[in-house]
Structure 1
């Protein structure tokens, strides 16, 4: 009988220690089973990145029949679209290509600017797709542009708010943690807004490459594979962010309820 009482007391003490942990208890003591979300997200991103690098490297060795470089293809597509105020320039790096709507510059990286491969032409055309979106006032692009500062604030404040919330006790803790989760949600929302923008830019790129005759039908299939692989990196990034948000809700949602 006394032994059972001691066991009950021990169990009760352990339960109290669990309840007094900084956040919800998942696993045995130091083990946090929600890390599986982080691992899954990281694996998804690694697979997508590896797929993109592999696909780009493969078709980087396939020379386009037109012999046009990425820069030449970009200039041709922009002229065909009636865009004459966008400057095509060379920047350092590998696949650091981007279009800046603020100063209307289309920057092509080392692996794209002077390359005549179908992969390079496809990437250049994709960035032209963003320039065309900007010229035509594509709504999702405008929404994403307006959301950039909000997303930056959210990503910068999310974890500091959560960490400070863990230090406090009571209702202030709950408020800070919930605010941190909301801030992180803004960064996740930005990733979701980015998806239709990127997919549409690739769609416009394929249309322009076909319309201008820069690439033949067989080359278009190869280029589509490159752009699809690139799009998957954005999908993977969004999925990873969603998993991290789910982990935050699981970890700290219980604490918010306990503090109320």
Structure 2
């Protein structure tokens, strides 16, 4: 019964995630068609925000892919997809400023970003074998609980990472919206569009975090049931 309930829940989260991804792409496409009154491109906006925050060692580069925008703290680059890099819309302004928000977090030693960055090496190693440990744990549950317990411990790191990501993303959006408003990059209407686009982007992280927590609790319930049987 618990098994069936979990998969129903998992399917539900998957459908919600797909819906939010679709909505995000739809909003981005909609707002990308509306020209920015300031006429600035995503590249120009990013460079201006970095300069205003006295960040001179970060490059703004164009990368392949759609909505592949990200900040790389390792090589100090703000990576913008072509439609954001060259775009002159509220959507491009929102994404460019958001990624620069991460650069500002890095430059100001924002504690949650530092915490998340410190977790990355461990998670990179864990992600390679964690699924196999969990599978072995479930298959060996009648023999020993150790593999499943280890798998749960490893999976809890990924869940923690998902939740640590939330304040990092929300803070970057907050910085971005405040800056584009204060700098006069957008009008009131354009600010509303930028805020809406970033909100839908943030929701993808929220759903991912909740889904990860639900999966973790499922494995914990299996572990507890196994302990009661033994």
Is 1:216 equivalent to 2:191 in the alignment? no
1:147 aligns with 2:119: yes
TM-score w.r.t. the length of structure 2 is 0.94
When residues 55 and 189 of structure 1 are mapped into structure 2, their CA distance, relative to the original with a 3 A threshold, is: same
Residues 56/103 of structure 1: CA separation in 2 closer, same or farther (3 Å cut): same
Deviation of the 1:111 alpha carbon: 1.7
Q: Which whole-Å CA distance do the structure 1 matches of 2:52 and 2:158 have between them?
A: 36
Between Structure 1 and Structure 2, how many residues are aligned?
A: 230
CA offset at residue 169 of structure 1?
6.0
CA distance 1:167–1:241, change in 2 (3 Å): closer
SS of the counterpart of 2:37? coil
- 1:221 is displaced (CA, Å) by 1.0
Alpha-carbon distance change, 169 to 206 in structure 1, aligned in 2, over 3 angstroms: closer
Structure-2 residue corresponding to 1:36 = 8
Aligned to 2:28: 56
2:63 alignment partner in structure 1: 91
Post-superposition shift, 1:189? Answer: 0.4
Aligned mates of 2:82, 2:116 — CA distance in 1: 27
CA distance in 1 between counterparts of 2:206 and 2:4 reads 26
When structure 1 is superposed on structure 2, of 136-145 and 249-258 the one drifting more is 249-258
- Counting only pairs closer than 5 Å after superposition, residues 74-153 of structure 1 correspond to structure 2 as 74-153=46-125
In the other structure, the counterpart of 2:218 is: 247
CA contact 1:85–1:104 (8 Å) conserved in 2: yes
Structure 2 unpaired stretches of 5+: none
In the TM superposition, residue 93 of structure 1 has moved relative to its aligned partner by 0.5
1:160 aligns with 2:132: yes
Q: Which residue of 2 aligns with 1:13?
A: none
Q: 2: distance between equivalents of 1:79 and 1:111? A: 22
Q: Which residue of 2 aligns with 1:227?
A: 198
Ranges in structure 1 where 5+ consecutive residues have no aligned partner: 1-25
TM-superposed deviation, 1:164: 2.0
1:91 CA displacement: 0.5
Instruction: Give the CA deviation at 1:37.
Output: 2.1
Preserved contact between residue 45 and residue 236 of structure 1 (Cα < 8 Å):
yes
2:166 paired residue number = 195
